[in-house]
Amino acid sequence: MMSMLHVKKYNEPIWDIKEILRYIGCRESSEEIDGLITQCISELKQKLSYKVVFTTLKKKDFCKISKDCLDNTDKALPFGSRSLAKNLQSCEDIIIFAATIGIEIDRLISKYSRLSPAKALCFQAIGAERIESLCNTFNSEVRQELCARGLSAKPRFSPGYGDFPLYTQRLIFDLLDCPRKIGLSLNESLIMSPSKSVTAIIGISNETQDHFNDENHPSSCSECSSTNCNFRKE
């Protein structure tokens, strides 16, 4: 399965302090928390590196539909997923991408896990917001480009959503050559490094109506089976 790979580097996406607070677990802000967030952002922001690698290919070259279930049982890494099949309905082409904000935030989290657990938690929250913002920026570009061609984009869908197996990370990493292209690696336990990284699939639809909004990103939570997650959006 040969495909052309593209790498994009981004400037700093717009910060969403409300999202950082949500990841921290705070319903309301306070002077103390605001000060901590400001301090952590100041220490971190010049150290981040926003990168995305992506490719476009035919859905049938990645998987096939069998009884309303996407599968690639005839491939080296077999999987099946009804959730992904539902997400990619009406799609013939797909975009597969990986995004990362770099390793520096992992180093700060490790450092402050020993020195200041509150700061470590804050950096964790900032990292979650940053990678989500990077993905949203990439998704917005994709939607705009597809709209100009009379197409639309389905919400991004990552390994681990619904019944889409997490081990398909290996297939995506091989396809995108993540270590060489953006310095993103995957260990035997399927843990990515840098940790604040995302892999996902975006379906390209012929439907003119694109009612999906990646800034609110309903798919990530509505499709996920972890209903008790502390970070789940309503």
Give the mean pLDDT of 6-25: 96
Distance CA 156, CA 212 (A): 10
Sequence ranges of the domains in the chain: 6-222
Note the pLDDT of residue 89.
83
Lowest mean pLDDT across 2-11, 146-155, 209-218:
209-218
Residue 213 has pLDDT above 80, yes or no: no
Query: Taking the model in full, what pTM does it have?
Result: 0.85
113-140 pLDDT, tens per residue? Answer: 999 999 999 999 999 999 999 999 999 9
Residue 220 has pLDDT above 90, yes or no: no
Distance CA 157, CA 134 (A): 15
CATH fold for domain 6-222: NADH Oxidase (3.40.109)
Contact between 71 and 24 under an 8 Å Cβ cutoff? The reply is: no
Q: Assess whether the previous peptide bond of 194 is cis (omega < 30° from 0).
A: yes
What's at 219, amino acid-wise?
A: S
20-59 pLDDT, tens per residue? Answer: 999 999 988 899 999 999 999 999 999 999 999 999 999 8
